[in-house]
Amino acid sequence: MLVVNISCKTLTINRCNCAIDVRNAENFDRIEMNYSMHKGDNVKFIGSICTSSLLLCNIFRNANCVESLFKISTKIKHLHFTNDYTDEANKLSRMFLPNMKSDSALNNRRKTQLSLLAAYTKQTNYFCSIYEGYNDVINLILKKILKEPVMTTLIKLEYDSIVVNENNSKAFKTLLKLKILKICTATITNEFFEQLPSTLEPLDISGSNFYRCFRSVEYKTQDENSMFFHNTIKVLIVDLNVFLAIRSIKTLFPLLKILKICCKSVPKICYYAYDGKIKLQKLYVECCYDYHQSDTKSLEQWVFNNMVGELVKCIDFDSLECFILVSNAEIVSVDPINHTILFKRPRTAPDKSGEMITFEDLY
């Protein structure tokens, strides 16, 4: 048995079976529970838990432990769910994809490239199967957790690498104090927006890292005349093609000031009309490729022009105070009017104020 003393503020538990006496501890700043991916853990708490932040990793084999944890927990303000198996899938993507990008390599080593593609497809399907199976189990656990009284104190809720199903999304409206939500859904509908709490300020629906590698989020347009207006949301983080598919973005988020767009592919051309151009203060575009390390300048310019050409249909670029492009390697500040580069620097370097640009700081 592990006995926690009164001065303990941070508790981290990694893949173990144990009993933890927390009766002497008053308030934790953070508790992190990392469960095993391959077997169920047996972690029991003696006493009640009061913590500001709770991170749960790999809950899919530990339903009983997780459900009992929420029954004895109080005053949780920040709740974060994540999984390790998506990290393995992302490593797989980084290992295979660079070997398949070069056209010259494909022509010179056709058989090798095709074998790599076959292996990548096989492994991808394997991870997708695991991901979707585990995700179903996790949603069953979430269904019970979301009904617990402790959820009413939540201010920040993050589902990282977990796709929340439609039934669990409906429970968000009961979280009356929730201000920050990060969520991944396979399909975004108008009903999804209607179920969001009216207290939200930042909303992140950009999708998990896993979905950015292997899946696309789909936005299904319906009757947008009856859409619920979110007058409190000022920061929105969203996938590019999902954003372009929402025709009533100006009406839906009338107070939106900061927009971060995740761009992992060339934008789809939208032929329908929007409800007007939204006025923003700051626009960030995060790209999965480097604009200034493309194979040719013409490709670089073509991708940029296509992206801006679609965004200008629904964003008033004249109102922008800053327009920032972010890749894995660098940060590029672009003039919103004439689209010339103002400055660029490595992503790890501080800006002129000495601060780092991190999108998490937006919310």
The dihedral region occupied by 64, where left means phi > 0, alpha psi between -120 and 50, and beta the remainder, is: alpha
Predicted confidence (pLDDT) per residue in 110-143, tens digit: 455 445 445 544 555 555 555 566 777 788 888 8
What 150-153 contacts at long range (C-beta under 8 Å, 24+ apart), as own/partner pairs, is: 150/70, 150/73, 150/74, 150/75, 150/76, 151/70, 151/76, 151/79, 151/175, 152/176, 152/177, 153/74, 153/75, 153/76, 153/77, 153/177
Q: What is the DSSP letter of 281?
A: S
Of 105-109, 220-224, 249-253, 305-309, the one with minimum mean pLDDT is 105-109
Every domain of the chain and the residues it spans: 1-97+111-181, 201-212+229-362
- What distance in Å separates the CA atoms of residue 86 and residue 275, rounded to the nearest whole number? 37
**More reliable by pLDDT, 78 or 126:** 78
Does residue 335 sit in helix, strand or coil? coil
Using alpha carbons only, give the angle 333, 335, 338 rounded to the nearest 5 degrees.
Answer: 145
State if pTM tops 0.75: yes
Average pLDDT value for the chain = 76
Query: Given a cut of 70, is residue 1 above it in pLDDT?
Result: yes
- What distance in Å separates the CA atoms of residue 237 and residue 252, rounded to the nearest whole number? 14
Alpha-carbon distances, residue 139 vs 69, 129, 189 (angstroms): 17, 16, 19
Query: Given a cut of 70, is residue 184 above it in pLDDT?
Result: yes
